[in-house]
Amino acid sequence: EDAIVERVEAKLGGDLEIAELSFDFDHADLRGVAFTLADGSSVTFDEVEVDLEEGGVWRGVVAVERVALRGGAIRGDVDDFRELADKLRKRSGADDEGGSSKRIRMRPKTVAVEGVAVELTWPRRGTASGGGVLDASVDVGAKTASITLADAVLRRGERSFEARRLRTEVAGGDDGVAFPVSLSIEGGAIPLTPEIAVADVHGDVTVTDRELTELIVDLAGGFSDREGSKRAEDHAGGELWSVAGKVRRDLSAGDIKLDMAAFELAKVPQVLERLPLVDSGDATVGGEVSLHFAEGKADVAGKVAIAGLNVDHAMLASEVVRDVGFDLELEASVDPGASELVLRKARLERKGVVLEVDGTIRHPEVVEERRYEINAAIPSVPCKDMLRAIPVELVPSLVGFDLSGDFEMTAAAKIDFADLEAVSLTGKVGIDKCKVKSAPPRVSSQRLQGPFTHRAVMRDGRVVVVELHPGSGDFTPLDDISPYMVAAVMTTEDGGFWRHKGFITSQFEAALRRNLKAGKIRLGASTITMQTVKNVLLSHERTFARKLQELFLTWYIERSLPKKRIMEIYLNVIEFGPGIYGVTRAARHYFGKKPADLTPPEAAYLALMLPSPVRRHVHYCEGELSSKFKRKHERILRYMQERGRIDDATYEAWKDVGITFDRREAGSKSECLAQIKRLMEASVKQHADSGLLQGATADPEDTAPENFEALLDEGDSEGYDPAAADAPGKPAMDEVDDIFMHAEER
């Protein structure tokens, strides 16, 4: 035994251990064999059986007939084992020469491997690794091998491939393995998302030569969740898709086709459980995609049809959006080398309404080299059909609108990440050709033009009633509100209010530019009309549904109500503090006076409350402004003067006066602060109970900080100008009104 160990270690350059060795004239049995290479890679076998040529020892011949390797593991660097294999081939050849008598033949005629665990890494390929349980049968003389890897797994970075079994049959050629070589896959799984995987992949992948010049695929499979993909094939829903064709590695030639006959999602219940869907077992998905490869690029053409999805997602709507479906046609070219997608045609159709998109997206790793050019259009379609094509759960407040006329839309975006100042967002939304024949009673111009009752549901579930009619004690006509109040909100919220028609298109471009610079979507364009719609008719929920309705209702309100009435409603319903709705209550609460008597500094303070009325109420609780908020307040007053909303004499008269709170409604400081904390920790969605969106859920806006010193320091950075977009005709941005708030701020 010692002699064998020393000889092997000397020839192969590693450490060999044999726990037990027994042999007779034509058989050897080794147990607990462990061979460790210098770099730490290792080979262990629970049992090694060696059969010698029967009777050979009596003739002075040592000839290995068969070797069986059972159990154990092969662990380590692939390159280490390649080097070891080369040494074994050389030693085997040398031993086989054995002089003319050929008395020693160490190369066996057959080798069997049974149940050996494999754990390999490819350091030259970054984090690539793989393994499984190996079984193999090798006929050395015939130069053939049958190899099976059970429970196989391959990983590279975050990508992975798993299979219940991989099989291949290989034959030796003049210079090694003879090609082509086919790999049979059973029970394969490839994750598509952290939750969903392509599952029960089965079929063959064929490699045509040693350099992997060409790949031929013929695969089929289904879908499952990540866990289900590791179990039996019945978790994948059967054969739901197939992919077949061939492609050269350099993408110089080839054709691949993916077919997915329409199937009901009930076939893949594990997938349904992982998706934001409810009651969607009868929903269907199907389509086909063809890829043609040439000159290193891929041309993609395909069709996909989706029908009957019921989507439940908090960012989409507060209710389940039912019967979501569409047909999609796609033609594109992909250049992997340039990280470029040329979208020649994307045509999405739903209920007769068509959305067409084309453009070029270049997205390399270097951010400054990215370029996007995207065009979108909705060809002319009757306005009523456009509204009908939108799932009703996305626009519940628009049920009851009867429209005439035709709608069309065009939009184009150009983004060069090396020059974000040159961002361009242009287009035209042809909704002005739509005419409202009738509107729902709650949103009708007749209701909003006259007296009405506004009920606001606060975060803690309390309902605050605001009576918008003369003599109610809650309502003040616009003519009886200090002009400084109008000047202040136009400075902080919407400088172009009297000129625009509800939207400032240039601000969408400006918001896009800021979002791209920040690397996240945070700022949205929100005019006074949009805020009025949100507060009176909708809710504060951050969903795509609310924003979609807000855009339509803003268009409608601007064309149904005079500007003065919109401003009047806005100032009488907007929240200026916890439960303090409307300028009448705000003027009384903070300053003990009527809205007509508000001074420029007092009006500026009230306007500054609007972005965060509960959080910023802390200054009233403290009895004075923090130094940071005071500088903010002084800045707004200066902007009012610079933009011509107050004259120079008025500014000079009031710039150093500041504000003095009326404390009659303050209560104790601790009670005041406790109210803020209670509201910020409450979970009821703030909304208008008298509006059109009911039963909203958790509010993702500000939460209470651990201490109220943080409240005193909140707000804009020192150099920020909240009215910078104000001149001329460009409103300031509503910083907190964006439905796609970055995840870190949720």
At 100-115, the pLDDT tens digits run: 445 667 789 999 999 9
Integer-rounded Cα Rg, in Å, for the chain is: 37
The average pLDDT across 226-248 equals 76
The average pLDDT across 280-288 equals 96
CB proximity list for 349: less than 8 A, separation 6 or greater: 326, 327, 328, 355
pLDDT above 60 (res 133): yes
Q: How far apart are CA 168 and CA 257, in angstroms?
A: 24
Q: How far apart are CA 169 and CA 744, in angstroms?
A: 52
Bridge partner residues of 581 (DSSP): 575
pLDDT above 60 (res 215): yes
How big is the CA angle at 505 (ends 645 and 733), to the nearest 5 degrees?
A: 50
CB 251 within 8 A of CB 293: yes
260-269, 342-351, 586-595, 596-605: which range is least confident on average? 260-269
Q: How far apart are CA 650 and CA 529, in angstroms?
A: 28
Q: What pLDDT is recorded for position 452?
A: 93
Structure confidence at residue 229 as a pLDDT band (50, 70, 90): low
Query: Is pLDDT larger for residue 25 or for residue 145?
Result: 145
Report residue 387: phi and psi, to 5°. Answer: -70, -40
* Segment 608-635, tens digit of pLDDT: 999 889 999 999 999 999 999 999 999 9
Q: What pTM was estimated for this model as a whole?
A: 0.78
173-177, 183-187, 372-376, 680-684: which range is least confident on average? 680-684
Q: Which of 59-63, 486-490, 513-517, 702-706 has the highest mean pLDDT?
A: 486-490
Q: What pLDDT is recorded for position 629?
A: 94
What's the whole-number average pLDDT of the chain? 86
CB 524 within 8 A of CB 737: yes
Q: What pLDDT is recorded for position 651?
A: 96
150-154, 288-292, 344-348, 667-671: which range is least confident on average? 667-671
The average pLDDT across 196-216 equals 93
Tokens 């998302």 -> residue: 193
Q: How far apart are CA 282 and CA 265, in angstroms?
A: 6
Counting residues of the chain whose pLDDT is more than 90, the rounded percentage is: 65
User: Going by DSSP bridges, is the β-strand pair 452-457/435-438 parallel, antiparallel, or unpaired?
Assistant: unpaired
Q: What pLDDT is recorded for position 684?
A: 54
The average pLDDT across 677-694 equals 60
pLDDT above 50 (res 735): no
Counting residues of the chain whose pLDDT is more than 70, the rounded percentage is: 86
Q: How far from the centroid of its chain's Cα atoms is residue 233's Cα?
A: 29
The average pLDDT across 74-95 equals 79
* Segment 571-581, tens digit of pLDDT: 999 999 999 99
* Segment 361-410, tens digit of pLDDT: 999 999 999 999 999 999 999 999 999 999 999 999 999 999 999 999 99
Q: How far apart are CA 410 and CA 276, in angstroms?
A: 31
Q: What pLDDT is recorded for position 524?
A: 54
Q: What pLDDT is recorded for position 57?
A: 65
Q: What pLDDT is recorded for position 395?
A: 94
* Segment 303-340, tens digit of pLDDT: 999 999 999 998 899 899 999 999 999 999 999 999 99
CB 468 within 8 A of CB 532: no
CB proximity list for 661: less than 8 A, separation 6 or greater: 590, 591, 620, 623, 624
2-11, 235-244, 548-557: which range is least confident on average? 2-11
pLDDT above 70 (res 231): no
Q: What pLDDT is recorded for position 102?
A: 59
Q: What pLDDT is recorded for position 550?
A: 93
44-53, 129-138, 496-505: which range is least confident on average? 496-505
Q: What pLDDT is recorded for position 63?
A: 84
Write the burial class of residue 10 (CB in 10 Å: 0-12 exposed, 13-18 middle, 19+ buried). Answer: exposed
Q: What pLDDT is recorded for position 685?
A: 52
Report residue 109: phi and psi, to 5°. Answer: -75, -35
The average pLDDT across 28-34 equals 94
pLDDT above 50 (res 705): no
The average pLDDT across 456-471 equals 89
Maximum Cα–Cα distance for the chain, whole Å?
A: 124
Report the b/e string of 558-584 with b at 16+ CB within 10 A. Answer: bebbebebbbbbbbbbbbbbbbbbbbb
Report residue 8: phi and psi, to 5°. Answer: -65, -45
Q: How far apart are CA 689 and CA 685, in angstroms?
A: 11
Nearest to 274 by CA among 197, 176, 212: 197
Write the burial class of residue 57 (CB in 10 Å: 0-12 exposed, 13-18 middle, 19+ buried). Answer: middle
Structure confidence at residue 596 as a pLDDT band (50, 70, 90): very high
Q: How far apart are CA 119 and CA 72, in angstroms?
A: 11
* Segment 633-677, tens digit of pLDDT: 999 999 999 999 999 999 999 999 989 999 999 889 999 999 999
Q: How far apart are CA 267 and CA 271, in angstroms?
A: 9
Tokens 């209702």 -> residue: 553
